[in-house]
Chains A and B, each alone.
Chain A
Amino acid sequence: MSNRKEFSRRSFIQLAGGVGAVLVLGSFSSLACADADAKAGLKKKGVVFEPNALVSVEPDGTVTVTIIAPDAGQGSRTALAMIVADEMDVDWHKVKVTQAPANQSRYGYQGIGGSNTIRAMYGELRKIGATSRMMLVSAAAKTWEMDAATLKTANGHVVSADGKKSIGYGELTAIASTLAVPTAGVELKSADHFKLIGKGATRIDNPDVTTGKAMYGLDVKVPGMVYAVIERPPAFGAKVKSIDDGDAKKVDGVINVFEIPSGVAVVAKNTWAALSARQALKVDWDLGPNAELNSAKISSQMKAAVKDHMEMPAGSKVVESSLEFPFLSHATMEPMNAVADVQADHCTIWAGTQQPTGAQGRVCSLLKLAPEKVTINVMLLGGGFGRRLSDDYIVDAVNVSKAIKMPVKVMWTRDDDMRHDNYRPACYSSFKGAVDNAGNPTGWSHQAIQSGMARPPGPFGASGLSYNIPNSGQIHGAVRVPVPTGAWRSVENTLLNVANECYMDELAHAAGQDPFEFRKKLLTDERLLKVLEVAAEKADWKKPLPQGHGRGIACFRGYGSYAAHVIEVSVTGNKIKLHRAICVVDCGMAVNPKGVEAQMQGACTDGLSTALRAAITIDKGGVVEKNWPDFGWMTLDAMPNVEVTILQNADHPGGMGEVGYPSVAPAVANAVFAATGKRVRKFPIKVSELV
């Protein structure tokens, strides 16, 4: 590209958070950073104004925001663009987004995890938008020979103080491009002047999604591409003994069958031929050392790892309890897949990934290539939930493409996906606590023993509780079992907060107190207290319910945000029916309230699904569940009305991807107790297993 200058001229601004650790707010002339890969497809008619790595303004006034965070449905492409557009004072209908490929030197770390996207980038994106706006104002001032300080902006135009002169941003691109990027004097809007932030916009990808044009990893097709599926081991750690591919190779369209590290690859001219050939393939497996592993053994191991609890103060009423959690699959709607084109000195990947720069590093090390030789094109993600932090599916595609020297799409079937995930660890929580005669808690000991292959968590000294309880402590231990585990929406909070909030209910009951009032008097964090109070109020907490119905309450603080839930159920025979779900969240500034509402509804669906239905079971060293009918997920017909309340304020945005999950399942379990007088000791909840 002719107008490209050396990247070394950039100045980098370090961000506090994890995502987008380096963003570019250039101290270079505005044409310096036209990155061919990021801006591919952008038609250039006349001068395009590019004040920094993320913004470009075309002569027709279109503003394109480069999105460095993948969108897995959390709405980053919409919300991040809104932040820039608001500070730029640009008409939202003139805003487009383009997804950045992996480029660590240009954008810093790119990845979505820890509910970090907006809270890490909010401040910097506002500065980027405001700086871009300031340069356009300066360009108008220069054109009109007026004092820039007197000019205003609105809807993508610079307007003179008397309102007589108005010029579109698109008409200013040539002059703006000659100006130096200001390093001082950039003013951010005050919150009361926001037009988009806190107000909400519909998703920028909606028109493409609703017409089938949106491109996910599985939709990619490149010239000369072939298709592959992998026959994977039936047990974790199983090895191929022998392959009989006689029948598989007879299938019309099959190209090759060969072993790769994750199994046996079947390559064909189309997906159906690959699937049909895999069906005909016979692989003899050495099941290896884990062939006898099952969920019952794992459960026993976890229980055996519980140590003696600390002593409770004399004279208190002691309450002992436990709660067991299964492994969970991420089960994204779009199964794992990637397209790879490995060539002698270059590799191109097309994939939905939660961590583009991490995936790039992995491919670089696999192929011994420098980062500039590995292109990671980031497609829309058909769900993430932590699953696409792993790059095993990208590694598959690289291995197959490298072997056959052709571009290939590797697709995991639903079975592959469900049986070869990095699962939410199973866990056994053991509690011992106590309350005194006045109904005050006097001790709290929690041992959470999780199982899996993940790095065992360090033992926590403090309880991690949001409640003011003396003599409290928590041990987060682990038993190592050969089931691959990883991050699952809200990670350890799917276990610890769920367990704590269930046990909190038991303590309240032992103290003879209302579970809401009991929590209320022990909470010290005002924002957490507020969401809890609003949830109780919205749920008519004190209003009596019919026989067989019950309400449960729970709360959570994390990722810079606060949530509380009240769930109402009824129990008839063995059936638990959901009636209402009250969700309250305080995430500071809700940049896109529609997105926040969607995250709360989605997290609630996850909470209800995992409270009542979904579990991954291990038998004979592998996963039993193969497809949706085995891994019960909530469908529309089973959902209660989910009522979301957002406590909007002007604080720095908190994370939203995960905060809505950890208080749903305990609210369900506590509601089941309220309805039946019986406790949940194991998830998913079965009425027959209540005690």
Chain B
Amino acid sequence: MALIKININGKDRSVDVAPDMPLLWVLRDVLDLTGSKFGCGIGACGACTVLVDGNEQQSCQLPVSQIGHKKVTTIEGLSKDGNHPLQKAWIEHDVPQCGYCQAGQIMAAAALLKKNPHPTDADIDDVFAGHICRCGTYQRIREAIKAASGSAK
């Protein structure tokens, strides 16, 4: 165990955990931020996606000791009141079914729009080839990203 400092959703947190513990389990078991989901444990499904310094990161693949001073944003910290353009578009386009993968999908979309405010279908395909939705909400994910890309900063 080791005391490790990390910045999550703008707050400095100190966690006493095994240095190799992936960020996902720090978030879920230690910090009670359960919005990031466990889906595969090998970075293959995207359910655990968070932002690290604004970039898409599968949190099941990032040992907590490697985060350093980088800033982590989870679904809980994406916006103050759930009013990020992507969150609003997700509701309006009724994207979720079971909803389990959707935090990861939204965070991946947030990283995409940050880099590329007006993504083409091919840009969306590139990112979302690494995200599984077992309910098959793909078409609405695409629609919601396109709707939000008009207003996302």
Contact = CB atoms under 8 A, between A and B. Distances in A.
B129 A598 contact: no
B142 interface: yes
Given A209-B99, A273-B18, A276-B18, A333 B138 contact: no
A219 interface: yes
A203 B93 CA distance: 10
A233 interface: no
B21 interface: yes
A567 interface: no
B91 A636 contact: no
A386 to B, nearest CB: 13
B99 A602 contact: no
B101 A203 contact: no
Interface string B35-50: 1111111101101000
Nearest to B1: A252
B133 A414 contact: no
Q: Which of B20, B91, B97, B132 is the most central at the interface, judged by chain A CB atoms within 10 Å of its CB?
A: B97
Nearest to A384: B98
Given A252-B1, A636-B128, A210 B133 contact: no
A212 B33 contact: yes
Contact of B28 (A72, A271, A335, A635): A271
A414 B132 CA distance: 13
Given A218-B38, A605-B136, A271 B96 contact: no
Interface in A523-553: none
B87 interface: yes
A206 B91 contact: yes
Contacts of A209: 90, 96, 99, 102-103
Nearest to A602: B136
Interface string A214-251: 11101101000001000000000000000000000000
B34 A219 contact: yes
Contacts of A602: 97, 135-137
Contacts of B44: 627-629
Interface string B100-113: 11110010000000
A332 interface: yes
A688 interface: no
Given A211-B87, A276-B18, A380-B99, A333 B47 contact: yes
Nearest to B107: A212
A247 to B, nearest CB: 15
A635 B94 contact: no
Contacts of B134: 331-333, 383, 385, 633
A276 B20 CA distance: 10
B132 A628 contact: yes
B29 A270 contact: yes
Interface residues of B, number: 62
A215 B32 CA distance: 12
Contacts of B140: 598, 601
Contacts of B136: 601-606, 634
Contact of B99 (A214, A253, A271, A603): A214
Contacts of A382: 37, 98-101
Interface residues of A, number: 64
A636 B124 contact: yes
Contact of A627 (B20, B40, B76, B133): B40
Q: Which of A207, A601, A635 is the most central at the interface, judged by chain B CB atoms within 10 Å of its CB?
A: A635
A277 to B, nearest CB: 11
A467 interface: no
Nearest to B141: A636
B18 A212 contact: no
A628 B130 CA distance: 10
Interface string A484-523: 0000000000000000000000000000000000000000
A333 B141 contact: no
A636 B135 contact: no
Contact of B135 (A73, A202, A214): A73
A216 B100 contact: yes
Nearest to A643: B139
Contacts of B102: 209-210
A333 B104 CA distance: 12
A635 B131 contact: yes
A589 interface: no
Contacts of B37: 216, 218, 333-334, 382
A231 to B, nearest CB: 15
A381 interface: yes
B142 A636 contact: yes
A641 interface: yes
A382 B33 CA distance: 17
Contact of A639 (B33, B126, B138): B138
A637 interface: yes
A12 interface: no
A75 B41 CA distance: 28
Nearest to A594: B94
Q: Which of A73, A207, A272, A381 is the most central at the interface, judged by chain B CB atoms within 10 Å of its CB?
A: A272
B35 A212 contact: yes
Contacts of A385: 134
B30 interface: yes
B131 A598 contact: no
B92 interface: yes
Contacts of B126: 637
Interface in B24-73: 25, 28-30, 32-42, 44-45, 47
B41 A414 contact: yes
Contacts of A75: 97
B22 A383 contact: no
Interface in A385-414: 385, 411, 413-414
B94 A202 contact: yes
Q: Which of B1, B36, B138 is the most central at the interface, judged by chain A CB atoms within 10 Å of its CB?
A: B138
A594 B93 CA distance: 9
B75 interface: yes
Contacts of B92: 202
A16 to B, nearest CB: 28
A586 B103 CA distance: 32
A411 B140 CA distance: 30
Contacts of B34: 212, 215, 218-219, 221
A205 interface: yes
B139 A639 contact: yes
A565 to B, nearest CB: 14
Interface string A120-155: 000000000000000000000000000000000000
Contacts of B139: 601, 639, 641-642
Contact of A227 (B29, B91, B106): B29
A665 to B, nearest CB: 14
B150 interface: no
Contacts of A219: 28, 34
A515 B28 CA distance: 53
Q: What 8 pairs between A and B have smallest CB-CB spacing?
A: A212-B35, A605-B136, A73-B98, A382-B100, A637-B125, A209-B99, A602-B136, A212-B75
22 contacts: A72-B98, A73-B98, A202-B92, A206-B91, A209-B103, A211-B75, A211-B78, A214-B99, A219-B34, A253-B1, A270-B29, A272-B21, A333-B100, A333-B133, A382-B101, A383-B100, A601-B140, A605-B136, A635-B131, A636-B131, A637-B129, A639-B139
Interface of A: 71-75, 202-203, 205-207, 209-216, 218-219, 221, 227, 252-253, 270-273, 275-276, 331-335, 380-385, 411, 413-414, 594, 598, 601-606, 627-629, 633-639, 641-642
